[in-house]
């Protein structure tokens, strides 16, 4: 019975998205909620509505409502699979979706958006979505709670912005998040936690329905209302329970499942820091941009779907291994991922890194030499002036 209820909720969310997305698109075109190309980062060939996230949220809510009603009809012993997420977590998801919608319309400041992300993260933390600090030197007191709060903020805010960053190509964010949700559901299921599958079924149904209109060539974008909502829900779901008895692997495995947004965000931060650009400086050097330069948008999206599935399968395998086996699997997978990213020219090869470091050292030596010359010039001038200054003769 729970499986039937989950399937029904998935189908309801899917059908709701197929109805809501074109309706939202028509309204957006009528009132001007569109994203116009600018010839720089926004390279789509026409103005496209950018508020599809509202349809995703609405469709997911319909699916959750259906499964909640179905849960009421089931015996308590088998209704645990249809556990509804904590009300505070749901409230935070709706709040960040509204903030994203407002940003799609008015482009609010980074500070305002960050403040909103902190508020909804606090709601998730109070609702039980938090990074668990295991027994150890920190104990179970106030210090452990503070460390848990800081790590939760880093995880939740980072994931919201990570999903937002990968939403730069038709069909990419919706497909990658769907794969990540399915991977996390598998991780939790292998760990014996079948609760909250209601969330997975509803969101995945809504996303697949949305992909009907968002896959290249997209007729609607999800916008910040969708990417912030999905990043928040994905991050909160990842913090449900624990994926492995070892505390380090329990943190690593969810990050592996969501490896595409995590990796792209980390590389973007490092790239901007090395080039001296602001953290929020937009560019066209993300992984999907590199793939788009080598293949069609559709092929690039499918390639990243498969890449995400590879990461999810690796994470699933790690949940069934001990510390040593999981560590070896992680290192082997890291080597494969690095080779793939070098192949698509997203990361430099070892020889490229050596050349880059060599150029930096030569440039630094050149700058040091110039600095020494500038410092020597005034001193040489003073010596020359003293050497050739005429000596006054005796007075007559």
List, as one string, the DSSP characters of 185-209: HHHHHHTT--TTHHHHHHHHHHHHH
230 Cβ contact list (under 8 Å, min separation 6) = 53, 56, 163, 173, 177, 203, 207, 222
Q: Of 77-86, 90-99, 127-136, 186-195, which gets the smallest average pLDDT? A: 77-86
Averaged pLDDT, 7-28: 95
**CA dist., res. 77 & res. 79, Å (int):** 6
Assign 150 to helix, strand or coil.
helix
**CA dist., res. 161 & res. 173, Å (int):** 12
375 or 132, higher pLDDT: 132
Mean pLDDT of the chain: 84
Count the helix, strand and coil residues of the chain and give each as a percent rounded to the nearest 5.
70, 0, 25
Averaged pLDDT, 131-143: 63
DSSP assignments along 26-92, one per residue: HHHHHHT-EE---SSS---SS-EE--HHHHHHHHHHHHHHHHHHHHHTS-TTTGGGGPPPPHHHHHH
| 34 bridge partner residues | 49
Specify whether the CB–CB gap between 110 and 117 falls below 8 A. no
Specify whether the CB–CB gap between 149 and 130 falls below 8 A. yes
Q: Which long-range contacts (CB under 8 A, 24 or more apart) does 104-111 make?
A: 104/33, 104/50, 104/51, 104/53, 104/223, 104/224, 104/225, 105/33, 105/51, 110/280
pLDDT in the model for residue 4: 80
pTM of the shown model:
0.85
Q: Is 179 exposed, middle or buried (0-12, 13-18, 19+ CB in 10 A)?
A: buried
pLDDT in the model for residue 114: 95
pLDDT in the model for residue 396: 43
Q: Residue 77: pLDDT band by 50, 70, 90 thresholds?
A: very low
Taking only the tens place, the pLDDT of each residue in 279-312 is 777 778 889 989 988 999 999 999 999 999 999 9
**CA dist., res. 177 & res. 199, Å (int):** 13
pLDDT in the model for residue 199: 85
**CA dist., res. 393 & res. 314, Å (int):** 91
Specify whether the CB–CB gap between 103 and 113 falls below 8 A. yes
Angstrom CA distances, 214 to 48, 207, 209, 217, 234, stand at: 10, 10, 9, 7, 20
Taking only the tens place, the pLDDT of each residue in 241-268 is 666 777 788 889 999 999 999 999 998 8
Taking only the tens place, the pLDDT of each residue in 158-170 is 999 999 999 989 9
Taking only the tens place, the pLDDT of each residue in 33-47 is 988 776 555 555 678
Question: Residue 281 has what DSSP assignment?
Answer: -
The single residue listed with the structure tokens 């007075």 is 395
Taking only the tens place, the pLDDT of each residue in 187-242 is 888 877 766 788 888 999 999 999 999 998 999 999 999 999 999 999 999 887 66
Q: Which of 58-62, 144-148, 380-384, 391-395 has the highest mean pLDDT?
A: 58-62
Specify whether the CB–CB gap between 113 and 232 falls below 8 A. no
pLDDT above 90 covers a percentage of the chain that reads: 49
**CA dist., res. 385 & res. 303, Å (int):** 70
Question: Residue 169 has what DSSP assignment?
Answer: S
* Domain layout of the chain by residue ranges: 2-245
């Amino acid at each position: 019975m729970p499986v039937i209820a989950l399937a029904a909720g998935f189908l309801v969310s899917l059908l709701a998205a197929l109805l809501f997305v074109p309706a939202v698109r028509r309204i957006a075109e009528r009132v001007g909620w569109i994203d116009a190309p600018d010839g720089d980062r926004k390279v789509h060939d026409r103005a496209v509505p950018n508020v599809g996230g509202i349809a995703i949220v609405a469709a997911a809510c319909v699916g959750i409502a259906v499964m909640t009603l179905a849960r009421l009809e089931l015996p308590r012993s088998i209704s645990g699979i249809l556990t509804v997420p904590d009300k505070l977590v749901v409230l935070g998801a709706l709040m960040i979706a509204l903030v994203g919608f407002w940003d799609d319309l008015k482009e609010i400041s980074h500070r305002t958006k960050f403040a909103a992300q902190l508020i909804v993260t606090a709601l998730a933390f109070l609702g039980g979505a938090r990074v668990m600090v295991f027994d150890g030197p920190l104990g179970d007191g106030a210090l452990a709670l503070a460390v848990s709060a800081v790590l939760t903020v880093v995880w939740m805010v980072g994931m919201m912005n990570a999903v937002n960053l990968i939403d730069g190509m038709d069909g990419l964010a919706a497909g990658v998040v769907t794969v990540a949700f399915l991977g996390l559901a598998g991780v939790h299921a292998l760990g014996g936690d079948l609760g909250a599958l209601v969330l997975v079924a509803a969101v995945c149904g809504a996303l697949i329905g949305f992909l009907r209109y968002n896959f290249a060539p997209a007729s609607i974008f999800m916008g910040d209302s969708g990417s912030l909502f999905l990043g928040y829900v994905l991050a909160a779901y990842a913090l449900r329970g624990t994926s492995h008895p070892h505390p380090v692997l329990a943190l690593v495995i969810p990050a592996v499942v969501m490896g595409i947004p995590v990796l792209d965000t980390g590389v973007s931060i490092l790239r901007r820091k090395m080039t001296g650009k602001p953290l929020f400086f937009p560019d066209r050097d993300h992984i999907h941009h590199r793939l788009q330069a080598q293949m069609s948008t559709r092929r690039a999206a499918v390639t990243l779907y498969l890449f995400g599935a590879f990461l999810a399968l690796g994470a699933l395998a790690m949940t069934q291994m001990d510390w040593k086996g999981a560590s070896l699997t992680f290192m082997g997978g890291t080597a494969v991922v690095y080779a793939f990213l070098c192949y698509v020219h997203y990361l430099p090869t070892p020889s490229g890194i050596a050349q880059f470091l060599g150029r930096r050292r030569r440039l630094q030596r050149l700058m040091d030499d110039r600095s020494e010359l500038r410092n020597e010039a005034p001193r040489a001038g003073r010596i020359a002036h003293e050497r050739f200054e005429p000596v006054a003769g005796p007075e007559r």
